[in-house]
Structure 1
């Protein structure tokens, strides 16, 4: 398909790609599949870049150096400005931990490998990723990696293969097959990595090199194909969502839809082409690269200084700022370089681009090596940031879920090595109680042991990991062989029952069961644990989980302090906590009612005294992260745990 002239409809198609991405990221729920705009960009890039390469190969004047210089001129100037701006704003707003992560991301993106970094982290759809200013650069890394290898592939295929188009199509099929195969085994790799994404760019590439038909189709064919293509793209934008297995087979909808639009409009000025060629669409398309670059950092930083989630009105105002920044970036950064008013020659742009890469990568590494430069923070912001680190030794008492020999026990109170009066058993939600346990054990003069394994609730069976089953069996054996008076069971119960609040089911034990069946199975396992402990003669204390905060809440505390905003209202209604914990609360109440030696402890009344579960009190965060208590928050649990020690008939020590 040899259509090399200026195509306003493709500029409009860029607008169709970037608008839903922006609206999706700013929380406009109607565009639940707005992320497919990236796939549209991939097809457009594959088509346009291959058109240029193919034309120059046919003319015998293709040059790798010229090609990469053009790519540097197109990509690096605006990207460098955005990376620099992210670092400046990050210096002003981010905690040391988050600023260190930003430095790392800048280093990776400067060398076009941020997709690999983000693949190793939380994943694209995880709420934790909503606070990474450079998450969106993964797609740029994929494209730049493609631009590095694809010209070599084209030169080799066209020079040494008679039927090179068939070979190119074979590479496309191989990439698509990898995408479908990998997505069931490693969804993040399928989403972020070039081998599983190359087929989308190659669809555009095939469109650029397939010969035009000898005779043209009747006009309505082009109208129908472009119309169906637009319909497919719109269906993807409105019907897919973050729970869709993507890319996988689902990516065919936006990718083939885009191919159909470009093909149909390339042969005839269709109705879709006229729509896409509207001046408003073309205008947005022209600034689409800068708009894509700016929109995500603006969203992340706006979210950081929002007391609660942004309203739709606030989102619109921030989107307006994104558009303003995009226009300025396009006019004063993109155009001067693209029109060769700045660094006009090949050597200057390549040297300048390399210098920008080296400088940004070095700055990023310095920030990373300096742990986010904690000295930036002072006063209230520093107090909030410090709360995100455990200082009391919880990590020393929390064994990792991959530990092969989970035998470690933390001991507090009087030195009674053989048999503690109290044993606290559970996952990290048992470990985060350490400051209160240690304080009460010393105050009441009773020995207490804490034994916990990350990601493992105190219930029998293999749970989701073999290590959990082995660990819990060891603890039951320990309880049976020791004269322990009280056993405390603590865990993030709802995580294993329902998964995370964002729908991530990786830690759910019964992920393939219905909600009712999952509740019944967990109830049976908790009852079995309680019965096993009671058979030893020990009392059982069931600790309900602490109220959860929304993703990003704890990092937001420092950002608010940095801009002088109060964090007193940051939190969530206790009603949301009560709703999520309803089944667990009913189960624990029934166990307590059936046996007077089974007791229930609820941290919610301490943490949510007026109906709001606040993230911070008195200028100090109650939380280390969204679900674990900070040292300060754990200290506030001393009254909650005191009845356990008092049940030992101990006399307070001082």
Structure 2
């Protein structure tokens, strides 16, 4: 990543150790995304990049401020020359590959993300449409551009903020930035539980990481060179440990960013500051010498281009293969990433940066006009091409045999009445309309998100096997755990609280909880579910939990198209991308007396799950059951004891 990487920190002398730090960050990210074992926390490389960016950009701006003022236009012109050429080149190459590889609906989503990446809006686009660790995100070639958008949004704000602070003669200058950093960190800690996906993607909860580097550039020199050599060596080891320990020991289960991002960010800050102490100490610490080693510097110089190309290569390979890549394939992808990154750096980045051209003078704005014009034209062209591909539905003429068949099921959810959307409050729910079956004495409440609603056609089909009439209480993106809050679904908290009132008021004796339990990065889900089950049980209701159901890498239409020449014994089944251990965690957290159904043993064999039976699709998309799939699932779940006495066999019919 690190669109601010220049390879030359000219305002304070070239720092090979910073390029080495970039190399550590980009290698951690690339190897993590490539699935290399032993680096489950490699995603923290992005946070290291944020610190470096904040530091390098702020040092340049501070130098200008000391020289008499900040040339805002010249700053943005430099950003354009350094960011856009390699980004545009990557988008062009990835788009050519996507044109030949992606089926129309996939290309449509890709095109929309290309528009967002061109406009520095992709973090918001992906926040609204996915989570970083969701299975579906593994098949979105431009997902990684979220971090570029965060940086670019920061670049819009920092120079203006610094200029205002300088003009107002604030003393100390760093104080307002430190306050903003503290508020951003506090917001990130809060959002880690209340809105984990927003916490990951958005600038307000990421700004503190960039501001760590900014504050480092503003802070007075602490005189590290005067420290004893042993102390400086210990600082270097601590800085490296702050980065490498999370790379080795963090995982997708680690609450992040929030406080979890502090070690890599502070580790990067310590290493950057330690490298500054060379002039004071007369020699580098071992950590600085390590980072300045030629191999790491070489990778650091090309780190921006490497970051840009690595994810499209990985994702498009995965889509072509329709499986995870093997170890030799992974090695080939990593090698190709480094090779393409080097070519992009040599033939795209460096020429457009014009390192030997005189810097444009703020007093000669006409020199900047071609830069802004070219940047605007390139952005408009990429966004325009993306819009055309998206508006056409993914250029369907490329694959004339491909057809998206409508799969019945979602029309039974009773949208906006029993299945509420993000803009609706619980008051839009209607009890009479949402009592979906009749003829029984009691009531069964189905409570959850769309992964609860997708069972509605199956529960209606098997109404005679329910212990009461079905009452549907579902909302998009609203996990059925008390206390859950979401910026995407702002009314979810109140919706869930009202469920307890419904259970009490209607005298409901059976409550079915179902959701996409693995979708959110909030790893407190099992405990939250346990507390919710306890409160429901306290009202006298029996609780039945349906675990995470299988999800596939692609929609059934895509899988069927790719398998159209496979024998009948193989066609219609594929390896799920959902981690079944999510259900193990739910089961372990729940109290005795709770019926828990694991859909995986109920529906799948050891390796694959069915997405179709003959010509009948069981799924309406990559994760939601259609009518036929819901009927099959509910039948299997009832046979496994969904409404019977809780027993161990309920987990494996």
Same fold (TM over 0.5): yes
Superposed, which structure 2 residues align to 1:299-378 within 5 Å? 299-339=314-354, 346-373=368-395, 376-378=398-400
Counterpart Cα distance in 2 of 1:20 and 1:66: 33
Distance change in 2, residues 1:463/1:355 (3 Å): closer
SS in 2 for 1:269: coil
1:291 and 2:309 aligned = no
Deviation readout 1:26-53 (Å, 9 max, x if unpaired): 2335222222211211221122222222
Which residue in the other structure is 1:168 paired with? 174
2:420 aligned residue = 400
2:209 alignment counterpart: 200
Partner of 1:73: 81
1:507 and 1:472 map into 2 onto residues whose CA distance is 22
Contact 1:179 1:196 in 2 (8 A): yes
Structure 1: segments with no counterpart, 5+ residues? 480-488, 531-541, 592-599, 644-654
Counterparts of 1:113 and 1:153, CA distance in 2? 21
1:382 maps to which of 383, 403, 411: 403
How many Å separate the matches in 2 of 1:473 and 1:177?
A: 40
How far 1:233 moved relative to its partner? 1.7
Q: Compared with structure 1, are the counterparts of its residues 449 and 205 closer, same or farther at alpha carbon in structure 2 (3 Å cutoff)?
A: closer
Shift of 1:117: 2.7
* Gap change, CA 1:469 and 1:85, over 3 Å in 2: farther
Q: Pick from 500, 506, 513 the counterpart of residue 518 of structure 2.
A: 500
What is aligned with 1:277?
292
Alignment counterpart, residue 231 of structure 1, candidates 241, 255, 267: 241
Shift of residue 303 of structure 1?
Answer: 2.8
* Helix, strand or coil at the partner of 1:254: helix
Residue 3 of structure 2 is matched in structure 1 by none
Distance in 2 (alpha carbons) for counterparts of 1:187 and 1:603: 26
Cα offset for 1:123?
3.3
Moved more, 6-15 or 366-375: 366-375
The structural deviation recorded for 1:13 is 0.9
- Which has the larger Rg? 1
Contact 1:394/1:431, CA 8 A, preserved across alignment: yes
* Residues 180, 614 of structure 1: alpha-carbon distance in 2 compared, 3 angstrom cutoff: same
Under a length normalisation based on structure 2, what TM-score does the superposition of the two structures give? Answer: 0.74
After superposition, the Cα gap between the structure-2 partners of 1:377 and 1:463, relative to the gap in structure 1 and judged at 3 Å, is farther
Asked whether 1:554 is paired with 2:535, we answer no
Alpha-carbon offset, residue 284 of structure 1: 1.0
Output the CA distance in 2 between the equivalents of 1:411 and 1:508: 29
Shift in Å at residue 336 of structure 1?
2.2
- Aligned counterparts of 2:578 and 2:302: Cα–Cα separation in 1: 44
Q: Deviations over 1:558-579 (max 9, x none)?
A: 1684598856551359996998
1:453 aligns with 2:473: yes
Q: Once the 2 structures are TM-superposed, how far is the Cα of residue 79 of structure 1 from its aligned partner? A: 1.0
Contact 1:459 1:529 in 2 (8 A): no
- 1:352 Cα deviation after fit: 1.2
Q: How does 1:510-521 map to 2 (within 5 A)?
A: 510-511=528-529, 521=534
Give secondary structure in 2 for the equivalent of 1:228. helix
1:191 paired to 2:200? yes
User: 1:364 and 1:507, CA in 2 relative to 1: closer, same or farther beyond 3 A?
Assistant: farther
C-alpha change, 1:308 and 1:557, in structure 2 (3 Å) is: farther
Structure 2 partner of 1:595:
none
2:610 to 610, 614, 622: 614
Evaluate the alpha carbon distance shift between residue 119 and residue 604 of structure 1 in structure 2; reply closer, same or farther with a 3 A threshold: closer
Corresponding residue of 1:114? 122
Change (3 A) 1:203 1:581: closer
Tell me if the contact between 1:458 and 1:491 (Cα under 8 Å) persists in the aligned partners: no
CA offsets per residue over residues 246-284 of structure 1, 9 Å max, x none? Answer: 332332211221121112122243222221122211111
Whether the 8 Å contact between 2:11 and 2:63 is mirrored in structure 1 is no
Describe the SS at the equivalent of 1:120.
Answer: helix
TM-align CA RMSD: 4.8
Gap change, CA 1:3 and 1:219, over 3 Å in 2:
farther
| Stretch moving more, 270-279 or 564-573 | 564-573
- Worse-superposed segment, 330-339 or 607-616: 607-616
How far apart are 1:14 and its partner, in Å?
A: 0.6
CA distance in structure 1 between the aligned counterparts of 2:52 and 2:503, rounded to whole angstroms:
54
SS in 2 for 1:453: strand
Structure 1 equivalent of residue 91 of structure 2:
83
The match for 1:426 among 446, 456, 471 is 446
Q: Report the CA distance shift for 1:342/1:320 in structure 2 as closer, same or farther (over 3 A).
A: farther
Shift in CA distance, 391/426, structure 1 to aligned 2, threshold 3 Å: closer
Change (3 A) 1:451 1:634: same
Choose from 22, 26, 32 the match for 1:18. 26
**What is the aligned partner in structure 1 of residue 574 from structure 2?**
570
Quick check: 2:197–2:520 contact (8 Å CA) kept in 1?
A: no
Between 51-60 and 1-10, the greater mean CA deviation after superposition: 1-10
Deviation, 1:111, is 2.0
- Counterpart secondary structure, 1:143: helix
Instruction: For residue 57 of structure 2, give the secondary structure of its aligned residue in structure 1.
Output: helix
Distance in 1, matches of 2:582 and 2:256, equals 33
1:466 aligns with 2:481: no
User: Could you tell me how far apart the structure 2 residues matched to 1:332 and 1:564 are?
Assistant: 42
Q: Secondary structure at the match of 1:184?
A: helix
Query: For residue 489 of structure 2, what is the aligned residue in structure 1?
Result: none
Deviation at 1:350, TM superposition (A): 1.6
Shift of 1:119: 3.2
The more displaced of 564-573 and 180-189 is: 564-573
Write the distance in 2 (CA, Å) between the matches of 1:130 and 1:279: 33
Separation in 2 of the partners of 1:250 and 1:602? 31
Please say if 1:250 is aligned against 2:260.
yes
- Cα deviation for residue 331 of structure 1 reads 2.3
The answer to whether the 8 A contact 1:105-1:114 is kept is yes
SS in 2 for 1:31: coil
CA distance in 2, matches of 1:579, 1:258: 37
Aligned length: 588
